[in-house]
Chains A and B, each alone.
Chain A
Amino acid sequence: EIILTQSPATLSLSPGERATLSCRASQSVSTFLAWYQQKPGQAPRLLMYDASKRATGIPARFSGSGSGTDFTLTISSLEHEDFAVYYCQQRSKWPPGITFGQGTRLEIK
């Protein structure tokens, strides 16, 4: 099973600041990586897929990058509604599986 490790576990920033979230895979997943946002009491929302493609309706302040084992989600200028938990997720053909990272909590400083 491919393990995804997200860092930091918690990120404390202020509105308007830039957020950089990391996701590292235990082996290469090429660019088969997605990012999700989850707010309290809500289902997750797809933000990015194929590492760098924004999902429908996602604001341009969200961007993704990376390939292989190291990936980054960047929020260029934080809005109040961006404070949430973020998960990365990979899909692999071998070993076959779908796994999520443990999440990064983005909190207001």
Chain B
Amino acid sequence: EVQLVESGGGVVQPGGSLRLSCSASGFTFSNYAIHWVRQAPGKGLEYVSAISFNGDSTFYIDSVKGRFTISRDNSKNTLYLQMTSLRVEDTALYYCVKDWGNGVSTYYFDFWGQGIPVTVSS
């Protein structure tokens, strides 16, 4: 059974930092691109970032470029999102999401974690 378990969320002041982790199991982690998608309270879904199956390629939306860094450790089946210079508008539930494609990034999302809340507030 595919499982994605996020951790590392919490409450932080504007300008602060957090590091999210996503522990994966139930599939060959090193074969799949992984993504972060977020959802602000009561709002819709917003795509945030991606990393290719081997870590060679990354993608960020404009609003987090230069502030967020996605990385992965395939030996530990773990994905990370280092978030710095956090803003109030980064407040959301952050989902770790598995790409549908094996060995290729399809940007279709077939398995989602349960999400981890991040609150940026003074």
Residues of A within 8 A of B (CB): 32, 34, 36, 38, 43-46, 49, 55-56, 87, 89, 91, 96-103
Contact call B44/A103, Cβ cutoff below 8 A: yes
Known: A34-B108, A43-B95, A46-B108. A100 touches B113 (CB 8 A): no
Residues of B within 8 A of A (CB): 44-47, 50, 59, 61, 95, 100, 106-110, 112-115
**Residue in chain A with minimal CB distance to B48:** A98
Docked Cα-Cα span, A11 to B112, in Å, equals: 26
**22 residue pairs A–B, Cβ–Cβ below 8 Å:** A32-B107, A34-B108, A34-B109, A38-B45, A43-B112, A43-B115, A44-B109, A44-B112, A45-B112, A49-B100, A49-B108, A55-B100, A55-B110, A56-B110, A87-B45, A89-B47, A91-B108, A98-B47, A100-B46, A100-B47, A101-B44, A103-B44
CB distance from B26 to the nearest CB of A (A): 14
Q: Which 5 A-B pairs have the closest CB atoms?
A: A43-B112, A91-B107, A98-B47, A100-B45, A49-B108
Docked Cα-Cα span, A49 to B45, in Å, equals: 17
CB distance from B99 to the nearest CB of A (A): 10
**Residue in chain A with minimal CB distance to B115:** A43
Partner of B109, one of A46, A97, A99, A102: A46
Contact call B44/A100, Cβ cutoff below 8 A: yes
* Complex interface: chain B residues within 8 A of A55 (CB): 100, 110
A91-B107, A97-B61, A99-B47 are known; give 13 further A-B pairs, CB within 8 A. Answer: A34-B108, A36-B109, A43-B115, A44-B95, A44-B109, A46-B108, A46-B110, A49-B106, A55-B110, A87-B45, A91-B108, A102-B44, A103-B45
Docked Cα-Cα span, A48 to B112, in Å, equals: 15
* Complex interface: chain A residues within 8 A of B110 (CB): 46, 55-56
Docked Cα-Cα span, A35 to B44, in Å, equals: 13
Docked Cα-Cα span, A75 to B106, in Å, equals: 25
Docked Cα-Cα span, A7 to B109, in Å, equals: 22
Docked Cα-Cα span, A46 to B100, in Å, equals: 10
Contact call B114/A43, Cβ cutoff below 8 A: yes
Docked Cα-Cα span, A102 to B40, in Å, equals: 12
**Residue in chain B with minimal CB distance to A34:** B108
